[in-house]
Amino acid sequence: MDFRLENTAPGSQARAGTITTDRGDIHTPIFMPVGTAATVKGIFHRDLTDAGAEIILANTYHLYLRPGTAVLEQAGGVHGFSSWQGPVLTDSGGFQVFSLAGCRKLSEEGCRFSSHIDGSKHLFTPENVVDTQRSIGADIMMAFDECPPGDAPRDYAAKSLGLTHRWLERCFEQYAKTSPKYGHNQSLFPIVQGCVYPDLREESARFVQGFGADGYAIGGLAVGEPAPVMYEMIELVNGILPQDKPRYLMGVGTPVNILEAIDRGVDMFDCVMPTRNGRNGMLFTSEGIINIRNEKWKRDFSPIDPAGNCFADLHYSRAYLRHLAVSGEMLAAQIASLHNISFYLWLVKEARRRIVAGDFAGWKAQMVEKLSRRL
C-alpha cells in the first residue's frame, strides 16, 4: 500500500491524498460505509459505487462467527464471497468482543467470549485475529486491541494500554510470519489507544510508530467522552503520527465530527450512523438534520435535500419518504440509508475539493453551522 499526500489546507491541518492498494485507489479524506457482515445494510453494491464509495468495511468478529473462515476461503475471501471488488478494511473484532459485557474474559493470552448467535465459546488472540483477517482477505487489517470506555479510570486505561501494546507486538509478529491468501497485498494498521488521558495517548502514538506501518488508526474515541475532549485527543495524536501515512479515526461519527476531524488531519472515517439512523428516520442534509417521521413533512413535496439532490439518484420527495416510513415500508429504510451514505460521501469529497482549492477553512465553518441544525 502507498500513500501520497497531495495538498494541505491553509490555516488547517486538513489533507488531501491518495491511498493506492492492489484493488484500487482511495482518495482522501474518505468515508468508508460499514458493511459489518459483508453487506452495507439495504444497499446494493452498484448503488455504493454510484454514490462514490471507494472502500467499505467488514467485521472480523461477525464474519468469523458467520459464515466462518472455511466458507470465506472456499469463496476466495470476502471479495469473492460478496462480489465487492474494491478495497475492504476489516475491524479486528476487538470492539465487538469488548462490548459484550458479562460474556467475555480478558487475559494476556487474548479474550474468551461467547457468541451472540448461539452462546458457543471462542478465543480471540492477536495471532488468530491476524489469521482470520488473512482468511477474510481484507486489504487493510486492524490490530487486536482493547477499547476501554470513555470514562475509564486512569489506572484501568494505563493497564489496558499496556496490554494493547503487547498484543500489538504479537500481531505484527504473526503478520510477518504469514502471507496473503488471494494474491493481493494486505496492510496491518496499529491502533492508538489511551482513553482521554493525554500522556497515555502520547505514549501510544509514539509506540505505534516503531512498527513502520502503512497507516495508523485512532481508536477508543466517540465512546462517551465529550466532543471537545475527542478533538483534543485527535490533535495530540496527529501531532505525533507520521505525516506521510494515512490516519484512520475509527467509528466516528456525525457529519460535524467528521469535518472537525478532517480539520485536525484525519484521512479516513467509518461509522454506522448513516445507515442505522437512516433506518430510524434521521436524514442528514446539506442544510441540517431531518426527522422524516415528523408531521411537518407530510405535505412537503420538495426533494430530500433541495440544496443538493445530486448526492444520489433519488428523486423522491420528503412527503413520499415520510409516507413510506410511517407505513413501515422497507423502501423507506433503503432510500434513507442510501441518501445518508451518499451525503457522507459527498461531504468528504467536497472537503477534499475545498482542500485542493485552498478554501477549506471558511467552507468548513459554514458547513458546521448548517449541519448542526435540526430542521
How many other CB atoms are there within 10 angstroms of residue 102's CB atom? Answer: 5
Contact 216, 248 (CB under 8 A): yes
* Single-letter residue type at 162: G
Cell 422497507: give the residue: 330
Query: What are 89's three cell numbers?
Result: 478494511
User: Phi/psi class of residue 83: alpha, beta or left (left: φ > 0; alpha: ψ in -120 to 50)?
Assistant: left
How many other CB atoms are there within 10 angstroms of residue 179's CB atom? Answer: 9
Contact 187, 139 (CB under 8 A): yes
Sheet holding 56-59, edge to edge: 56-59, 88-91, 140-142, 187-189
Query: What are 196's three cell numbers?
Result: 482521554
d(CA 208, CA 288): 38
Q: Reduced to 3 states, what is the DSSP secondary structure of residue 370?
A: helix
d(CA 72, CA 137): 9
- DSSP-derived secondary structure letter, 297: G
Closest CA to 233 of 268, 257, 209: 257
Beta bridge partners of 271: 33
How many other CB atoms are there within 10 angstroms of residue 74's CB atom? Answer: 12
Alpha-helix residue ranges (DSSP H) falling in 15-68: 45-51, 60-65
d(CA 137, CA 182): 7
Sequence-separated (6 or more) residues with CB below 8 Å from residue 315: 303, 309
**Which active-site residues does the annotation give?**
91, 270
Q: Reduced to 3 states, what is the DSSP secondary structure of residue 311?
A: helix
